Amino acid sequence: MKVVDNLLGKVRPAFEKGGKLEKFYPVYDALETFAFVPDHTTKRGAHIRDSIDMKRTMFLVIVALIPALLFGIYNTGYQHYLALQEEGTFLDMILFGLWKTLPLVIVSYGVGLGVEFIFCIIKGHSINEGFLVSGMLIPLIMPMDVPLWMVAVATAFAVLIAKEVFGGTGMNILNVALTARAFLFFAYPTKMSGNKVWVSTDGGTAIDGFTGETLLSQAIENGATFYDTTGAYYASVSDSFMASFLGFIPGSIGETSTLAILIGAAILLWTGVASWRIMLSALIGGAVMGLIFNIIGPQISPDNLYLQVPWWHQLVMGGFMFGIVFMATDPVSAAQTFKGKVIYGFLIGILGILIRVVNPAYPEGIMLAILFMNVMAPTIDHYVVQGNINKRLKRLKTA
């Protein structure tokens, strides 16, 4: 640690005022504050401060994402070998997964941090930690075969348009990672939806019967009669539920395993980093909507089998879980009041399932639901806060 300190001390003068690299001070500052919590002391107000800072908070979210990432890497390989019906050891699958996934992670971080650094250098701001999480979320909500240049374009778009133009971390209205995904979804739909993108068949030919459909698109045709990547039908709904819960299904890299996501959720809730109000109310919202469809489905539209997918099965399909655990809980774009969070989460759950089922053109309803509620969150908060204001005004009148 002394070595690092000395090294930083040596290069520091070049970045300070009057130095050759003066303009790049934010980059130096980012590196220095990464390695050392600075020696800044309290100047006014409370003399002691909580140990928590933005880096710790963001780091904990990354830790929570690790189970989903690891499983995603494995599942990418697993689905690949399944589709080709080739023998693959566990290690083979991991290696294949890494080969597919790592470049996405690197591009996402490289481009995102690059844009962020450039902005901070131009503006002279210190570099914020926000992108550390966004940079990990973006690859996890991509299909593994998405071209790297698309990830780069989407990431740059998201960081610029969703974040920096609003003033940077803490000021954005939309969730940055979801904006990147929505951008690709609408700009390059062929690479982001359909049956071809969810399982990588690189370096081989898929067997006959291979489908590569996600459960979401299967449900449009067949309701809860699901089959796996090879086209083999699951024996029962509880079998497909289990496969989906554990994550052995095609889908975006990080979204398939509900179990891995729940481990992440446990970390987020245990450390208090994410709001349990949002997660729980979104879960309830999704369940309620699924239940409503289950009840009214057979009456109003017996042919639409999607309506009859059991509500508990809906919850483990697609990106619903990943969305409500990691995206909806982004504190900047979510509602900020306790009551607001409950309403916000509940509506995300309702809308997520509603869009998915009612408009099959948008199988990934949760993405749109969260983005829509991001926009609505300030309005929800406005009315919650207004309630508090009215209470105060009423007290004034009766006093």
Contact region for other proteins (CB under 8 A) — 111-119, 138-146, 217-225, 269-277?
Answer: 269-277
Instruction: Indicate the residue among 41 and 190 with the shorter CB distance to other proteins.
Output: 41
Q: Which residues of 162-181 are buried (b: 16+ CB within 10 A; e: fewer)?
A: bbbeeebbeebebbbbbbbb
Nearer to other proteins, 146 or 274 (CB): 274
Sequence-distant (≥ 6) Cβ neighbours of residue 354 within 8 angstroms: 289, 365, 369
Q: Is 150:184 a contact under the CB 8 Å cutoff?
A: yes
Least distance (Å) from other proteins to the CB of residue 116? 14
Would you put residue 236 in left (φ > 0), alpha (ψ -120 to 50) or beta? beta
Q: At what angle do helices 90-123 and 54-84 cross, to 10 degrees?
A: 140
Which residue, 171 or 296, has its beta carbon nearer to other proteins?
171
CA distances from 263 to 43, 178, 335 (A): 40, 21, 24
50 lines the binding site for other proteins (CB under 8 A): yes
From CA 276, how far away is CA 354, in angstroms rounded?
A: 22
In the set 10, 17, 20, 392, which binds other proteins (CB under 8 A)?
A: 392
Buried b (16+ CB within 10 A) or exposed e, 16-55: eeeeeeeeebbebbbbbbeeeeeeeeeeeeeeeeeeeeee
What is the separation, in whole angstroms, between the first and last Cα of the chain? Answer: 62
- Residues numbered 276 to 335 that lie near other proteins (CB under 8 A) are 331-332, 334
Q: Which stretch binds other proteins (CB under 8 A): 39-47, 85-93, 319-327, 367-375?
A: 39-47
* Closest approach of other proteins to the CB of residue 384, in Å: 8
Binding of other proteins at residue 17 (CB under 8 A)?
no
C-beta separation of 203 from 191 below 8 A: no
6 binds other proteins (CB under 8 A): no
Select the span of 49-57, 73-81, 153-161, 247-255 touching other proteins (CB under 8 A). Answer: 49-57
Question: Phi and psi of 227, rounded to 5°?
Answer: -130, 165
Q: Between 172 and 200, whose beta carbon lies closer to other proteins?
A: 172
Number of residues that bind other proteins (CB under 8 A): 61
Q: Which of 33, 85, 195, 308 binds other proteins (CB under 8 A)?
A: 33
Single residue of 7, 52, 165, 242 touching other proteins by CB under 8 A? 52
| Binding of other proteins by 165 (CB under 8 A) | no
- 240: contact with other proteins by CB under 8 A: no
Q: Is 46 in the site for other proteins (CB under 8 A)?
A: yes
To 5 degrees, how large is the angle CA 116–CA 50–CA 274? 60
User: Residue 314's closest CA among 226, 203, 376, 197?
Assistant: 226
The contact mask relative to other proteins for 121-140 (x = CB under 8 A, - = no) is: -----x-xxx----------
Question: For residues 350 and 289, is the Cβ–Cβ distance under 8 A?
Answer: yes
Q: Among 101-109, 300-308, 352-360, 384-392, which window interacts with other proteins (CB under 8 A)?
A: 384-392
Closest separation between CB of residue 292 and other proteins, Å? 30
The 325-354 contact track toward other proteins, x by CB under 8 A, reads ------xx-x-xxx--x-------------
In angstroms, the CA 200 to CA 240 distance is 21
Bridge partners of 227, per DSSP, are 233
Please report, as ranges, the residues that interact with other proteins according to CB under 8 A: 1, 4-5, 33-57, 59-60, 126, 128-130, 167-171, 270-273, 275, 331-332, 334, 336-338, 341, 381, 385, 388-389, 391-393, 395-396, 399
